[in-house]
Chains A and B, each alone.
Chain A
């Protein structure tokens, strides 16, 4: 079964960097994912598609501070030079033929 696992929360200081993790279930380590950001009281916003080799393609207008990397079944979202507006929930998503698709449970990022 295709499942994405995220830590419920993370925190980092203003101006620092943070690395959020999305783990693919066993047998799905080659899958690409997408990352989405949801700021408080707003709808989700597409950040990027992230491939298993770490290559990624960002959505429209996404700052250079956002990047992605991969290692095995782990997919990472890296945010550098953290700003207050980066405080948000971050969701990963994946897909497969014949199914609806999957979201992770989300990670709430607090900027200290």
Chain B
């Protein structure tokens, strides 16, 4: 059974750095074409890709957010970590991690975690 779960703060202040962890089970980074990505959804709005890391450590970032994002993986812990710097109230959203299989799509999603940016 494949599961993913997001963890991190629910409230951050403007200008702070957000660190989110995705812990997964039921698959590993030893499988080619497999990656884990972060997608967010502001309240009432559409899904937005943030970052993606593949089994071979290939990393992709949203062009508009690239300067603020860093994605890493810890294969031994089955975790993927996303950091986003200089948080702003417009970054308030539910943040999801999801498995990505190239050629298949995001076939498993976490439950999401709501992050509010407010002073």
Q: From the candidates A57, A91, A94, A101, name the one contacting B46 in the complex (CB within 8 A).
A: A91
Interface residues of B in 76-119 (CB under 8 A from A): 94, 96, 98, 100, 102-112
Q: From the candidates A46, A93, A94, A105, name the one contacting B108 in the complex (CB within 8 A).
A: A46
CB of A15 closer than 8 Å to a CB of B: no
In the complex, are the beta carbons of B46 and A32 less than 8 A apart? Answer: no
Q: Type the 1/0 row for B29-48, where 1 means its CB is closer than 8 Å to any CB of A.
A: 00000000101000000111
CB of B55 closer than 8 Å to a CB of A: no
Smallest Cβ-Cβ distance to A44: which chain B residue? B109
Could you tell me how many residues of chain A have their Cβ less than 8 Å away from some Cβ of chain B? 23
Q: From the candidates A36, A57, A104, A106, name the one contacting B106 in the complex (CB within 8 A).
A: A36
Smallest Cβ-Cβ distance to A32: which chain B residue? B103
Interface residues of A in 51-110 (CB under 8 A from B): 57, 59, 91, 93-95, 99-106
In the complex, are the beta carbons of B46 and A34 less than 8 A apart? Answer: no
In the complex, are the beta carbons of B110 and A95 less than 8 A apart? Answer: no
In the complex, are the beta carbons of A100 and B51 less than 8 A apart? Answer: yes
In the complex, are the beta carbons of B47 and A43 less than 8 A apart? Answer: no
With A46-B108, A46-B109, A100-B62 already in contact, the answer to whether A95 and B46 are too (CB < 8 A) is no
In the complex, are the beta carbons of B96 and A44 less than 8 A apart? Answer: yes
Complex CA distance for A101 and B60, rounded to whole angstroms: 9
- Mark B residues whose CB is within 8 Å of A: 37, 39, 46-49, 51-52, 60-63, 94, 96, 98, 100, 102-112
- Mark A residues whose CB is within 8 Å of B: 32-34, 36, 43-46, 49, 57, 59, 91, 93-95, 99-106
